[in-house]
């Protein structure tokens, strides 16, 4: 008799736990720590209803049985001029989603990113030759140069400036073609319609924000460490007064071109361009001609710094494609950066 009573009590408890679990699951969506803020609205609800289990075979991923939300390519759609100035610029970071539970990253991911952080610091990175590559005379790649904490601060500063006056907008050419990226100029404005620099943006009269002092320090350190690797052919230092900040969506690209709109003196002296890559990785082309078939391809990842000056100052270069979901998890976790690539190029007029 007592045995039967205990068995019935167990059944009651189990049924209550099942009902409670189902009730909680109907109200709460749990996602991996790198997925939080990656979707929203009715589309997210639809995907939750049609969610299918996610494979756990990848030890570096977090499978929670919830399908990933797809982010549309709306950032490639033209922004109205009124939305670009006066505090209404494009936000490179996604809003935090209500009810989103952020899980701590797996130990394997934490250890990997701790190693990445250990190989770099906020002032200068390891001068180990394995991290520095001379691609051609005057063109140097500092691989993984920007520390994770520095990348985070750059995203946060660009986001702060990008939503304000003179912030991100979608540029276009004179004939009306829109570029497949969002752009913000710091220091001086560059107008792709005229290929000229100015103190204000023509379409809304906004002044470009100043280049943050910490950005100047990063540029100086990168040039110093680059020259330490090529002491016999050092590149001249610059006092950067221009920074063009581009944000590429996952479908963004930029055709082969030369950076030749700076002053004749700057070009003649071969004053270098210093480029920071943050977020998703990109395939980068460079060569002596505007021909993708003969250009060399390079993978630029988050934290990489590319410098070209001197004999490589007028090299043709461009971005062929962005590699989706390749951004470091630590960056997404701390900044909620949109899917895509943030690129800062510094130069002296």
From the list 266, 221, 171, 303, the residue with the least C-alpha distance to 185 is: 171
From the list 240, 133, 131, the residue with the least C-alpha distance to 185 is: 240
Task: Flag whether 257 is marked binding.
Answer: yes
Report the distance separating Cα 241 and Cα 239, nearest Å: 6
- The per-residue DSSP string of 146-180 comes to S-HHHHHHHHHHHHHHHTSTT--B--B-TTSPBPS
H or E stretch at 258: none
Report the distance separating Cα 131 and Cα 143, nearest Å: 5
Report the distance separating Cα 331 and Cα 149, nearest Å: 9
H or E stretch at 46: helix 41-49
Task: Flag whether 289 is marked binding.
Answer: no
From the list 230, 340, 212, 213, the residue with the least C-alpha distance to 280 is: 340
In which residue are the tokens 């320090």 written?
Answer: 217
Annotation: binding site for Fe cation: 257, 259, 317
Annotation: binding site: 257, 259, 317
């Amino acid at each position: 008799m007592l045995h039967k009573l205990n068995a019935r009590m167990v059944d009651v408890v189990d049924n209550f736990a099942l009902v409670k679990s189902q009730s909680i699951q109907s109200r709460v969506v749990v996602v991996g720590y790198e997925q939080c803020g990656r979707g929203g609205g009715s589309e997210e609800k639809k995907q939750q209803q049609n969610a299918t289990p996610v494979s756990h075979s990848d030890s570096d991923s977090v499978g929670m049985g919830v399908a990933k939300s797809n982010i549309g390519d709306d950032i490639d759609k033209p922004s109205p001029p009124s939305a670009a100035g006066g505090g209404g610029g494009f936000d490179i970071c996604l809003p935090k989603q209500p009810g989103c539970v952020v899980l701590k990253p797996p130990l394997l991911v934490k250890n990997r990113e701790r190693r990445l952080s250990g190989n770099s610091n906020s002032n200068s990175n390891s001068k180990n030759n394995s991290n520095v590559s001379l691609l051609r005379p005057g063109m140097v790649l500092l691989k993984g140069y920007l520390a994770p904490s520095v990348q985070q601060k750059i995203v946060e500063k660009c986001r702060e400036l990008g939503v304000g006056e003179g912030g991100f907008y979608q540029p276009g050419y004179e004939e009306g073609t829109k570029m497949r990226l969002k752009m913000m100029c710091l220091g001086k404005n560059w107008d792709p319609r005229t290929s000229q620099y100015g103190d204000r943006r023509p379409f809304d009269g906004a002044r470009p924000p100043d280049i943050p002092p910490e950005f100047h320090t990063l540029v100086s350190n990168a040039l110093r460490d680059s020259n330490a690797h090529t002491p016999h052919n050092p590149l001249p230092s610059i006092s950067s007064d221009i920074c063009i900040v581009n944000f590429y969506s996952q479908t963004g690209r930029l055709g082969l071109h030369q950076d030749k709109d700076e002053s004749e003196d700057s070009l003649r002296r071969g004053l270098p361009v210093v480029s920071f890559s943050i977020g998703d990785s990109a395939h980068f082309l460079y060569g002596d001609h505007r021909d993708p078939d003969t250009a060399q391809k390079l993978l630029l990842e988050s934290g990489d710094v590319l410098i070209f000056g001197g004999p490589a100052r007028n090299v043709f270069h461009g971005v062929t494609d962005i590699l989706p979901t390749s951004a470091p998890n630590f960056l997404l976790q701390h900044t909620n950066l949109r899917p895509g690539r943030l690129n800062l190029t510094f130069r002296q007029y």
